[in-house]
Amino acid sequence: DQQVKQNSPSLSVQEGRISILNCDYTNSMFDYFLWYKKYPAEGPTFLISISSIKDKNEDGRFTVFLNKSAKHLSLHIVPSQPGDSAVYFCAATERGYGNKLVFGAGTILRVKS
Amino acid sequence: SQTIHQWPATLVQPVGSPLSLECTVEGTSNPNLYWYRQAAGRGLQLLFYSVGIGQISSEVPQNLSASRPQDRQFILSSKKLLLSDSGFYLCAWEEGPYEQYFGPGTRLTVT
């Protein structure tokens, strides 16, 4: 039972354009969401997060949007750069559940120059 | 600043052999620590987490075990490896409230 789903295995975007990575979740108890970026043979790197009390959080080129009614979040990268090419994981956690993150399967982003 | 170390970086082990992967964290005290596994083409699966010395919670039944002998040391072990244990093993520590920071990982191939 996948509680966090990233339905697009891969995404290809032209340099300078917007990259939109999507994530859906099924557990309505999740109240904090995170995005991680992972290069091959390296550990994931924390990118940005959002609490369920917000619907948007922005950090430089990265913006995360949360739609609680649709149980959907997305990561926008503007403008996309070749160095953004990596696997992006969405993760969610439920308050009071030991801070255990539930990860999606990841989306491979390729930014073409 | 906090740093997390994992070793070895890569490991090739035969089926039935034992396993010991070590993770240490610097620059913080009493961190929550986590072991994850990423199988080929899959997401990150939480294996174990620890909120303190000697305190281990297991998330998935398997032939792996974890121990936390010191505050900043987290060890993943197996007495007999299976082919299905192959994967990329990641240790993470937590900076509250929810962000986790990962080590470089260990690529384990069981042959």
pLDDT average, residue stretch A79-88: 97
Torsion region of B5: left, alpha or beta (phi above 0 gives left; psi -120 to 50 gives alpha): beta
pLDDT average, residue stretch B48-74: 90
Element (H, E) at B59: none
Pick from A4, A101, A104: which is nearest to B100 by CB?
A101
Report the number of secondary-structure helices (H) and strands (E) in chain A: 0, 11
pLDDT band at B98; cut points 50, 70, 90: confident
Pick from B42, B94, B101: which is nearest to A99 by CB?
B94
Residue A1 pLDDT: 67
Structural domain boundaries enclosing B19: 3-110
Residue A59 pLDDT: 96
Instruction: Quote the number of domains for chain B.
Output: 1
pLDDT above 90 covers what percent of chain B?
68
Interface test with B, best of A24, A42, A57, A90 (most B CBs within 10 A): A42
Lowest mean pLDDT among A38-42, A93-97, B64-68, B78-82: A93-97
Three-state SS string over A22-50 comes to EEEECCCCCCEEEEEEECCCCCCEEEEEE
CB B88 within 8 A of CB B37: yes
Instruction: State the CATH number of the domain containing residue B98.
Output: 2.60.40.10
**Within 13 Å, how many C-alpha atoms sit on residue B41's CB side?**
1
Whether B61 shows a pLDDT value over 70: the answer reads no
Domain map (residue ranges) of chain A = 4-112
Radius of gyration of chain B (CA): 13
Assigned fold of A4-112: Immunoglobulin-like (2.60.40)
CA distance B15 to chain A (A): 23
Task: Tell me the average pLDDT of chain A.
Answer: 93
pLDDT above 90 covers what percent of chain A?
84
Q: What are residue B28's DSSP bridge partners?
A: none
Q: What is the pLDDT of residues B17-37, one digit of tens each?
A: 999 999 999 988 888 999 999
Radius of gyration of chain A (CA): 13
Q: What is the pLDDT of residues A6-19, one digit of tens each?
A: 999 999 999 999 99
Nearest to B20 by CA among B31, B35, B33, B32: B35
Element (H, E) at A33: strand A32-38
Residue B62 pLDDT: 78
Nearest to A72 by CA among A52, A100, A96: A52
Gap between the Cα atoms of A82 and A96, Å rounded: 38
What residue of B is the nearest CA neighbor of A5?
B43
DSSP, collapsed to helix, strand or coil, labels residue A82 as helix
